[in-house]
Structure formats: structure tokens, C-alpha cells
Structure 1
Amino acid sequence: MAKAWLSLGANIGDPAAQLAEAVRRIGAADEVTVTQQSKVIITKPWGKTDQPDFANMALEVETALEPLRLLDLLQAIETAMGRVRHETWGPRVIDIDIVAYERQVLETERLTLPHPFAHERAFVLDPLAEIAPETAAWLVGRTAGPA
């Protein structure tokens, strides 16, 4: 089983309930076990700032799914929960990103690992540091230096 770290966020509807439901759905999926979860933090929007504050959290999961299959699962959960992709960095019912998958470096049309903006986003790093400080430090060190 591989370890992966996820970042979750929501800012429309009932964000706390939507995060809890996303965690439940991720944990109920075949070949995925939630092993740790951070507390929920409230943060200002990033990128597009004229929208409600976000509720954010991080999860550590163990999975038998390869990265792209895990991405498929997470996007299916987002869709089932009502996520519609209208605009980049816009408001959302739920957002689930793979921040890191083991220490894999991957760049495909659909997925870049580690997440290319993780080192710039306290709303990703702060919850991640709560549950996986070594992974948060690896992301900062890897993405802040030469590729």
C-alpha cells in the first residue's frame, strides 16, 4: 500500500459537512484507507479573492490505487457531491487534490506530483504539517529549490 496526502477544501453550501462527507466517501472507497486527518481550518480564498472563505483540511491515506486511478476516484467523488468546474480557483462545493503520493515525481496532462502549488499555499501546508510534518517539509524543500 502506498501513502498519499490529500488537500480538501470547500466554500459554498455547508463546507464543514461537505468535508466530512468527502472524508467518509474517500474512506468507504475500495483500496483506500484514511489513516490520518487534520483539523479543519478557515482560510481566505487564494487566486480569486472575491468569494467566501474556505474550510480546508488534509488527509493521509493508504491506497493500492496508482496515482491516476486515485485521481479518478477523487474526481468521481467531487462530481457525485455536486462539484462543477466553472472557473479556475472559483467557489466550490468540494475540492480534493492529491498533494503528494509517496515521494513520486510525475507529470502528465492530468496530474502533476507533487502538487505544483503546494509550497505556495498555507491552506495546504498548515493542515498537512499537522498530520505529516516530514511530507510538508519535503514539499517545501523540493518545490522551493531547483527541479
Structure 2
Amino acid sequence: MNNIAYIALGSNIGDRETYLRQAVALLHQHAAVTVTKVSSIYETDPVGYEDQAQFLNMAVEIKTSLNPFELLELTQQIENELGRTREVRWGPRTADLDILLFNRENIETEQLIVPHPRMYERLFVLAPLAEICQQVEKEATSAETDQEGVRVWKQKSGVDEFVHSES
């Protein structure tokens, strides 16, 4: 497994934490993926379509032998398995998995753009990512994050807590 990728995860329907845990476990259970780092979980205000519940967001680092497009397919399979529907852009969802970084590659196709095009505009992505990724400078202090509707909801406690959870 020679590729390193960073994935943002979010949920704002139902048992949000359970959906995040299941998504991390499903990533880790794939034969070509190992989850190596997990961030804290943040509770965040919705962005874009604001008439919906607050999100829980986090990020993970993985090592994988998948190429970026195979990883995209896997993340979409996990979203579907967890009941994701796409009815409203930026709307409510059980699970949302976005590839933020893949090695140090720049990819721009109709299906996939890496680095994620709005990553640096979104504190709900940057705050958890900065915890686990040395490539990303922490662009906000905790106080600034709280002011932007992004709050630590649950401190990270390690990969094992997620990859060994029941799905």
C-alpha cells in the first residue's frame, strides 16, 4: 500500500456518530485500505443549504493500493451502503466521504478533483484535517474555529476505536 490519502467524512442524519464510525470501519475493512490516523469529531453548522441539522465531521488518513478513481468508487459505495441519497445539493446525508488529498497529486477530471477544490475555504474540513496531516498548516485556532460554527464534539482517541467498531 504505497498511496496516502486523506478523506473528509460527514453526517447530519440519524445517529451521526454511528454513521461516521461505520464509514471508517468500512474503509478499513477493504483489503486495499488501512486507516492510519483519525481526527477528532467536530460538530459544524451546515454550509450552502442551511435549512438542515448540524453535521458531525472528521478526517482520516489512509494507506491504500487503490488508485484515486478506485478510491472514489469505494467512497461512493460506502456512502450508498450507509443510505446516502442525493436529492439536494449540499443537503442532508447519512454519510459523505470526500477525497481531500491523494499523495501530492493534482487531479482534475469530470469525476474527481484533488486536492478538493473547496478544502481551504471550509473550516469544517481544515480543522480535522490539520490534526492528522502535516501537509496542511492549521489555518485556524480553536477560538477562530468556534466563531465559524465548527466545534470539537469528541476528542480523538485513536484508530482502534473506529476500525473495531461494529458496523
SS of equivalent residue, structure 1 residue 137:
coil
Equivalent residue, structure 1, for 2:79:
78
* Distance in 2 between residues matched to 1:138 and 1:5, nearest whole Å: 15
SS of equivalent residue, structure 1 residue 136:
coil
SS of equivalent residue, structure 2 residue 84:
coil
* Distance in 2 between residues matched to 1:8 and 1:136, nearest whole Å: 17
**Preserved contact between residue 128 and residue 135 of structure 1 (Cα < 8 Å):** no
TM-score by length of 2: 0.80
Residue 138 of structure 1 and its aligned partner are, at CA, apart by: 9.8
The one-letter code of the counterpart of 1:13 is G
SS of equivalent residue, structure 1 residue 16:
helix
Percent identity of paired positions between Structure 1 and Structure 2: 45
> Which structure is higher in helix share?
1
- 1:45 equivalent to 2:36? Answer no
- 1:5 equivalent to 2:6? Answer yes
Equivalent residue, structure 2, for 1:142:
none
CA RMSD of aligned residues (A): 1.3
The one-letter code of the counterpart of 1:36 is K
Residue 30 of structure 1 and its aligned partner are, at CA, apart by: 1.4
Paired residues for 1:8-23 under 5 Å: 8-23=9-24
Residue 6 of structure 1 and its aligned partner are, at CA, apart by: 0.3
Return closer, same or farther for 1:102/1:138 CA change in 2, 3 Å cut-off. Answer: farther
Equivalent residue, structure 2, for 1:88:
89
Equivalent residue, structure 1, for 2:137:
137
The one-letter code of the counterpart of 1:43 is T
Q: Which has the higher contact order (CA 8 A, sep 6+)?
A: 2
Residue 135 of structure 1 and its aligned partner are, at CA, apart by: 2.4
SS of equivalent residue, structure 1 residue 50:
coil
* Distance in 2 between residues matched to 1:62 and 1:138, nearest whole Å: 22
* Uncovered stretches (5+) of structure 1, i.e. residues with no partner: 140-147
**Preserved contact between residue 126 and residue 138 of structure 2 (Cα < 8 Å):** no
- 1:113 equivalent to 2:114? Answer yes
1:64-104, CA deviations, whole angstroms, 9 ceiling, x for partnerless residues?
Answer: 00000000011001101101111110000000000000110
**Preserved contact between residue 11 and residue 95 of structure 2 (Cα < 8 Å):** yes
* Distance in 2 between residues matched to 1:15 and 1:91, nearest whole Å: 11
Equivalent residue, structure 1, for 2:34:
33
* Uncovered stretches (5+) of structure 2, i.e. residues with no partner: 140-167
